[in-house]
Amino acid sequence: MEAASPIINRTGSYYNLLISFTRDFFISSSGAQVKVEELEGRTIGLYFSANWFSQCQTFTPILADIYNQLKEQGSNFEIVFVSSDEDQISFDNFYKTMPWLAIPLSDLQSKKSLTQKFQIEGIPSLVIVDEFGEPIQTEGVELIYRYGVQAFPFTSVRIAELELEEKANQASQTIEKLLSTHARDYVISKNEQVPVAHLVGKTVGLYFSASWCPPCVKFTPRLASVYNSLRDKKHDFEIVFISLDRDEEGYLSCCKSMPWLALPYGDEMVKVLLRYFNVQAIPSLIIIGPDGKTVTREGRNLINLHLDMAYPFTEAQLLSIQEKIDEEAKSYPKAISHSGHKHELSLVSASSGGGPFICCKCDEQGSGWAYQCIECGYGIHLKCAQQVDEDEQVKEGANTANSYCACNGK
């Protein structure tokens, strides 16, 4: 079916945006039909999402919490689910978790026209529209992650106010403000309480992780190895685990595998820190400097790339590392072949196509120098390529030195 042509007495309203020739209603979570005209005068969030994508499953309960808070406050906000699910069962199972309205899955033309109108290129996506159907914000997902319920009514004026508040908070940021509450001024260490004040003057990593997250399970041992190495070298480095576990059993399981500190399970600061640092995926490692200010939000990538050499994660240290890598790259062969790929891999730099990439050997992010297949885009870290060679030599019985590779242990 084709989308409805404009209705004369509603031209320019949200109404024409949200109906089709065969439908002038939404469905509710109870199965009831709700007329589109009942949303007149409201701010509407069009939620493009699907059951099959994990990031949608992660974001939906966060959005539901914000939605329920706004409803309790009596706001004129409504959400409409625009599904990309592949069948009715998947749609029904996912929609059960949502307290808002939805366009029926069978109305494919409405989904297509809305996707095209707002140029939706990925999910989850939350587009906020006004009563005339015009977009107020197209990056609603990020705004919800960053500001939560405070983002409402999502106008540019409101977001500008929040950005000013955010800058003021960052300017006065300290480790104590980040981790303490009125009721708690400590973190946990093997069932003991360690005052947050003991972290002042140290470089601190805030580690967002969970037992149910496979990338977290993979990254934690690597981080622990770096942590222990830095501690052995007497560096003032500490990590605080911020759990996103769904139950206390998972939290305790994580704590057993971690040699560092932790916030208590279910602590109120977890949600605050998630929004403050705009954490949208885990594992995430935020580095706080000795002055209490944020050094980088890319701690995970830096650990994967440089191991303990990344410490103290400052721009000066990263520049020093990059200069060393640039010098080492001069001795690397211009092209290689290895068992992981059928085509020849060429040595590339950031200026010749290296850029940000995901290493096809270790599945971690890389940037700058890489071995890349010009034909199909397959790429790996330089040291992953070296590790492949050394692994092959080991198989042949050759003596090899340990590889300095951020991806070792995959």
Interval 268-290: pLDDT, tens:
999 899 989 989 889 999 999 99
Give burial (CB, 10 Å; 0-12/13-18/19+) of 192: exposed
* Per-residue pLDDT at 36 exceeds 80: yes
Compute how many other C-beta atoms are within 10 angstroms of the C-beta atom of residue 163: 12
Read off the pLDDT of each residue in 182-202 and give the average, rounded to a whole number: 95
> Is 177-320 in the same CATH topology as 8-164?
yes
Q: How far, in Å, CA of 78 to CA of 44, rounded?
A: 5
pLDDT per position as a tens digit, 67-96: 999 999 999 999 999 999 999 999 999 999
**Per-residue pLDDT tens for 197-252?**
999 999 999 999 999 999 999 999 999 999 999 999 999 999 999 999 989 999 99
Q: What CATH number has the domain spanning 332-395?
A: 3.30.60
Assess whether pLDDT exceeds 80 at residue 182: yes
So what's the pLDDT on residue 20? 85
| Beta-bridge partners for 208 | 242, 284
Spatial separation of the C-alpha atoms in residues 41 and 77, rounded to whole Å: 9
For domain 8-164, the question of CATH label 3.40.50.2000 is answered with: no
Do 170 and 293 meet the contact criterion of CB atoms below 8 Å apart?
yes
Alpha helical stretches, state H, 84-152: 88-95, 108-117, 140-147
Lowest mean per-residue pLDDT among 103-107, 141-145, 250-254, 363-367: 363-367
Residue 223 to residue 67: CA distance in whole angstroms: 36
Enumerate residues 6+ apart whose C-beta is below 8 A from 328. Answer: 382
The answer to whether residues 39 and 79 touch, using CB atoms and an 8 Å cutoff, is no
Q: How far apart are CA 267 and CA 250, in angstroms?
A: 15
Can you read off the two tokens belonging to residue 156?
A: 């540019």
Does domain 177-320 match CATH 3.40.30.10? yes
Taking residues 328-357, report their average pLDDT. Answer: 74
Q: Taking the domains of the chain in order of start, what are their residue ranges?
A: 8-164, 177-320, 332-395
Q: Band of the pLDDT at 410, cuts 50, 70, 90?
A: very low
Q: In a 3-state reduction of DSSP, which class is residue 105? A: coil
Which pLDDT belongs to residue 5? 36
Q: Is the pLDDT score of 12 beyond 60?
A: no
pLDDT at 16 over 90: no
Which of 149, 287, 274, 86 is CA-nearest to residue 205?
Answer: 287
Q: Name the region of 283 (left: φ>0; alpha: ψ -120 to 50; beta: rest).
A: beta
Q: What is the pLDDT of residue 354?
A: 60
